[in-house]
Amino acid sequence: MHKLAQSVLAYIRRNDLLRPGDRVGIAVSAGADSVALLRLMLDVSGELGVVPSVVHLNHQLRGAESDADERFARDLAEAHKLDFLTESLDVKAHAAEKKLGLEAAAREVRYELFGRALHSGVDRIATGHTLDDQAETVLLKMARGAGTRGLAGIYPKLAIDTPGSTGLAIVRPLLGTRRAVLRSYLAEIGQSWREDASNQDLRHTRNRVRHEILPRLEQDVNPGVCETLAETAEIARAEEAYWGAETSRLLPQLWRLDEHGGILQLKHFASLPLAIRRRLIRAAAEAVGLALEFRHVEEILNQACEGSASMLPGDWTVARHGDELRFQKASEEVTDYQYELSVPGRIAIVEAGIVVEAIVINGRGSPDRYTPQHLVDSSCAQKQWLVRNWRAGERFWPAHTKEPKKIKELLQDRHIIGKKKQRWPVIACGGEIIWLSGFGVRRDFQAQGNHGILLRELEGK
């Protein structure tokens, strides 16, 4: 057995990638890494008791070159008397249809092929990802902002969903091996491969990282930077596994789905360490199909006040109500809404993306805390206050207008249209609309002097 094959064998065993009897479909593109993978797997398959075959996807991206890649892979399979499974799929068309980038489309198509191979009797797919790929991935994810989660990089083994089963399916036996070592090995055993010109194309971000940034880090900072990044990935993977287990354990105790989204109980949550709280917020959001950025997580964690709310992507809001954080998706349907506002008090109007606050001003407050047109006459204080959307035909009298106008027209004048317009909030008090969002307090309900109830509209945060 070749010395390199011994080290690959040790990697496979240490990471428990294959079991005796496994039929392993080796993904051979025709490039150096995958060709080396095939030859190394042939060398170790006896010792491991596994049966290799070749799987090839013709991406049809480079015309005659792609066809030549396919022939190369087929010849290689035949030379070693291995089963050969190939499919020719139009990745470009798939990308156009699914509105994906080429890389993402190629990935989808590839995984579909892997899925079919796994369904038709192959137990594992082995891919030729190397330690260099790992280092590039970690650096890319790090730079793009995947937090500590992205540092896990490429996994040595990966479960993918295939029709009929979910389970471990893809393995990367070369993830501990440098690309250069594979090329020396191929030269040594006299095995040719095909170069893919697109690997040199510096328009691709990964290629710039590979050919320009990593070499510079190797030269300027640490000659072993690739191994170091791969080590970091290994550390991060174990930590991710830990966080995943902790989150799965804790989330069900604190979180339940409801018809609007879900509710997180804050009572015990607040005493958990920050790192866990961040993970739980993220996991809760994921449970309703929402991918949060770090700043969203921070915004939600900082929601200390009753009634404060965060506006999130995809029309989602998270609002605090007492000891609960409510994740809600604004309905696509425009629905009427109505909430009671206690005075003094504060309420989040998730439908409109704002928070309204009512503060009692007794004349002693600093005058720069409010403008008088936001001050409601104290006589309203004893009545019930309702925050709701306006209804057709309702009128409002803004501060600097001679007479009341139709709310419909006031909003149109400000170019507020569509659903936003229909959901626009007002406050009604004793049957009268006394406040219109963006317009302040109704002219004939404004306080005289500096006693009254201040209505403040806060950004949804």
Q: Does 304 bind its own copies (CB under 8 A)?
A: no
Cβ nearer to its own copies, comparing 171 with 209: 209
Select the residue interacting with its own copies from 221, 291, 305, 360 (CB under 8 A).
221
Q: Which of 21, 101, 121, 147 binds its own copies (CB under 8 A)?
A: 147
Site for its own copies in 311-350 (CB under 8 A): none
* Residue 289 sits in the site that holds its own copies (CB under 8 A): no
- Other C-beta atoms closer than 10 Å to the C-beta of 245 total 10
**Interacting residue with its own copies among 168, 181, 217, 416 (CB under 8 A):** 217
CA-only gyration radius of the chain, Å? 31
Interaction of residue 215 with its own copies, rule CB under 8 A: no
CB 190, min distance to its own copies, A = 29
Q: Is 142 in the site for its own copies (CB under 8 A)?
A: yes
Window contacting its own copies (CB under 8 A); options: 106-114, 146-154, 370-378, 397-405: 146-154
Return the residues of window 237-276 that contact its own copies according to CB under 8 A. Answer: 238-239, 241-242, 245, 273-276
DSSP for 6-74, please give it: HHHHHHHHHTT---TT-EEEEE--SSHHHHHHHHHHHHHHHHHT-EEEEEEEE--SSTHHHHHHHHHHH
Quick check: 62 and 32 in contact, CB under 8 A? Answer: no
Taking the CA atoms of 286, 290, 295 and 297 in sequence, report the sign of the dihedral they define: negative
From the list 231, 315, 357, 394, which residue makes contact with its own copies (rule: CB under 8 A)?
231
Do 318 and 310 form a contact (C-beta atoms < 8 A)?
yes
Position 102 contacts its own copies (CB under 8 A): no
Nearer to its own copies, 232 or 446 (CB): 232
Least CB distance from residue 203 to its own copies, whole Å?
A: 10
- Give least dist CB 232 to its own copies, A: 6
The CA–CA distances, whole Å, from 157 to 8, 318, 427 equal: 14, 36, 57
Given the DSSP bridges, would you call strands 23-27 and 51-58 parallel, antiparallel or unpaired? parallel
DSSP bridge pairs for 406: 395
Task: Kindly give, in sequence order, each residue whose CB lies less than 8 Å from that of residue 110, ignoring residues fewer than 6 positions away.
Answer: 27, 57
Strands 345-349 and 338-341: unpaired
Question: What is the smallest separation between the CB atom of 142 and its own copies, expressed in angstroms?
Answer: 7
Q: Which of 110, 118, 129 is nearest to 22 (CA)?
A: 118
Verify binding: residue 205, its own copies, rule CB under 8 A.
Answer: yes
Which of 46, 64, 120, 220: binder of its own copies (CB under 8 A)? 220
Q: What is the C-alpha separation between 303 and 25, in angstroms, rounded?
A: 51
Q: Determine, following the binding rule CB under 8 A, whether residue 208 of this chain makes contact with its own copies.
A: yes
- Quote the CA–CA distance of 104 and 102 in Å, as a whole number: 6
**CA angle (456, 458, 459) in 5-degree steps:** 160
Q: Which stretch binds its own copies (CB under 8 A): 162-170, 187-195, 234-242, 398-406?
A: 234-242
For its own copies, the binding residues (CB under 8 A) are 140, 142-145, 147-148, 151, 205, 208-209, 212-213, 216-217, 220-222, 224-225, 228-229, 231-232, 234-236, 238-239, 241-242, 245, 273-276, 278, 294-295
